[in-house]
Chain A
Amino acid sequence: MDIFLQQIINGLTTGSVYAVVALGYTMVYGVIQLINFAHGEVVMIGAMVAFTVITSLAGGALPAPVILLTAVVAAIPVCMTIGYLLERIAYRPLRHAPRLAPLITAIGMSIILAHLALMVWGRNPKAFPQIIANPVFNIGEASISSVQISIILLSFTMMAGLSWFVYRTRFGIAMRATAEDVRIAGLMGVNADKVIAATFVIGAALGAVAGVMYGSYYGIIHYTMGFTLGLKAFSAAVLGGIGNLAGAMLGGLLLGLVEAMGSGYIGEITDLCQWSLTSSMLVEQCKDGGNFVLFGSNYQDVFAFLMLILVLVFRPSGLLGERVSERA
């Protein structure tokens, strides 16, 4: 069976989620050169809040789409508040400290948020309720579900919206100016505190939606999910060139695609029975069309990080990361 198209669809779906989460990392990094390791946990809490809202409203009088919308609308301000508080309480006091201090704080915040979630939502994985019918459409041999369609459309809409905001509005221009030189932007009347807080809050809002998308797609959420998701989204941001918005989007999509392709084909590629040299050594296992697979799709995470390492070896500043000379 040809799984190529199917893996493209799956990769685009997860890649969209990575891209939206990666934007949160890259925006903050762009403005204050901080890797906000707690961002993955913000996404996780978004998913958890949505879970609580959906489970408490499901079965009531409200129609399912309204419940889902309510869940998103509830998760967004919760995450925005956490994003704001993170910046205000944990990072702002350290803004002029040596860079290691906020970095360690960020890791600490990530652990604290994960454990807060553990206390609130418990240690067991939660089944994210699938309250909306999820019809599946066939495209040739592949299929795409309406959840996948929604995730891809919503992600692209958010990415377009953010790009518009950052490139077309006065505040967006001020954000980019602050990213380039906070003190010069200050001379223009830009209050750095406001801009920095805004980047956290916007990133967290996107993260909240990403959390709901993640829950809807995988159907399972857990208080530790922020770690792997965050690590991958962060890798996507680095892959695209950290600090670069388009880079985060590209990096996220690419990571999703590579991961899907990798997990789709790794079994075939590492099936030793297809190589005459090794199949003669594995006669027992290979007879009657049997196979001997070295790596299964559980190795999919390897691809993400393998690609990251390869890109960084050849393009340390990431795919779209660039060094613009200050002077012509």
Chain B
Amino acid sequence: MNKPESSPLLDALNLEVHYGGIAAVKGVSFSVMQGEMVCLLGANGAGKTSTLKALARMINSTGEIRYAGEKINELPSHVLINKGLALVPEGRGIFARLTIAENLTMGAYHRQDKAEIAADVERIFTMLPRLKERENQVAGTLSGGEQQMLAIGRALMGRPKLLLLDEPSMGLAPIMVAKVFEVIQSVAAQGVTIFLVEQNALLALKVCSRGYVMESGKITISDTAPNLLADARVRAAYLGE
């Protein structure tokens, strides 16, 4: 067993992302320890999504990304899930024309252990009973909150070691947000390392142990969650004080 916070599972060093000539992420460094839940806060346009996409190799970046000790900068996106790195993208990214069951099947696409996959589907359905009821409906018919649940469930089907979450609360009613965060916390409790991007700083800092604040492509503050909650700059910028 790995003790929590013993070794970095994810390490980013001087990460930079450019769109054409425009820099969206301007040399950020951060790390996430095994078993930790860390958040990345920041306003709209700060570069959070670009950072996550770079980590998941959906877009190219410069600098270094080390995952489980291995440099992954040059790897194609589709090999990462095999190594235990999963992303729940911004806007959920469920397959709207596939059924809920098929979406979950896709989450386990890289796995071969049929019996275990079936058991995991049952586990997800126990955790998210609303999805079970609508197993054979196309996912596009789900509400936003249910789609978010499905997106998380689908990522869990890959049995990730590190789960990257991009604004899971975006566009959801407060009740749904609370439910989604309950699920995220229970996933963390199972030992999955989580790197959570959020605009909702209050919510994020309540569940994470540490956080980074990103502004215009740079990380400007890095601290423990309680300290960030007390930080005057954070309170002013993200908690509306």
Contact = CB atoms under 8 A, between A and B. Distances in A.
Interface of A: 170, 173-174, 176-177, 180-181, 183-192, 324-328
A219 B203 CA distance: 72
Contacts, number: 82
B106 interface: yes
A326 B76 CA distance: 26
Given A174-B109, A183-B58, A328-B143, A189 B82 contact: yes
Given A189-B110, A191-B78, A328-B142, 13 more contacts: A170-B109, A173-B106, A174-B109, A184-B93, A184-B95, A186-B78, A187-B58, A188-B110, A192-B78, A324-B140, A326-B140, A328-B143, A328-B146
A189 B79 contact: yes
Contacts of A184: 89, 93, 95
B102 interface: yes
B124 interface: no
Contacts of B143: 328
Would you call the interface of chain A mostly helix, strand, loop, or mixed? Answer: helix
Contacts of B96: 180, 324-326
Bin the interface of chain B by size: 20 to 34
B147 A170 contact: no
Contact of B77 (A174, A181, A186, A328): A186
A327 B138 contact: no
Contact of A328 (B97, B110, B141): B141
Interface in B77-91: 77-82, 86-87, 89
Nearest to B101: A173
Given A173-B102, A176-B98, A181-B95, A187 B140 contact: no
B44 to A, nearest CB: 19
Contacts of B81: 187-189
Interface in B93-119: 93, 95-98, 102, 105-107, 109-110
B106 A174 contact: yes
Contacts of A173: 98, 102, 105-106
Interface centre among A177, A189, A190, A325 (most CB of B within 10 A): A189
Contact of A176 (B76, B78, B97, B146): B97
Contacts of A187: 56, 58, 77-78, 80-81, 86-87, 89, 93
B158 interface: yes
In this complex, the member of B77, B80, B81 whose beta carbon has the largest number of chain A beta carbons within 10 angstroms is B77
B8 interface: no
**Interface secondary structure of B, over-half rule:** mixed
19 contacts: A170-B109, A176-B102, A177-B98, A177-B102, A186-B76, A187-B56, A187-B58, A187-B80, A187-B81, A188-B107, A188-B109, A189-B158, A190-B78, A191-B76, A191-B78, A324-B97, A325-B140, A328-B141, A328-B147
Contacts of A185: 95, 106
A192 B78 CA distance: 8
B144 interface: yes
A189 B109 contact: yes
A277 to B, nearest CB: 54
Interface string B25-66: 000000000000000000000000000000010100000000
Contacts of B56: 187
A186 B140 contact: no
Interface in B146-160: 146-147, 154, 158
Contacts of A176: 95, 97-98, 102
B182 to A, nearest CB: 21
B58 A328 contact: no
Q: Which of B82, B87, B106 has the most CB of A within 10 A?
A: B106
A188 B140 contact: no
A171 to B, nearest CB: 9
Nearest to A322: B97
B214 to A, nearest CB: 22
A328 B79 CA distance: 31
Contacts of B140: 324-328
Given A186-B77, A187-B56, A187-B77, A181 B93 contact: yes
Contacts of B146: 328
A184 B147 CA distance: 14
Nearest to A191: B78
Nearest to A184: B93
Contacts of B97: 176, 180, 324
Contacts of B144: 327-328
A177 B89 CA distance: 15
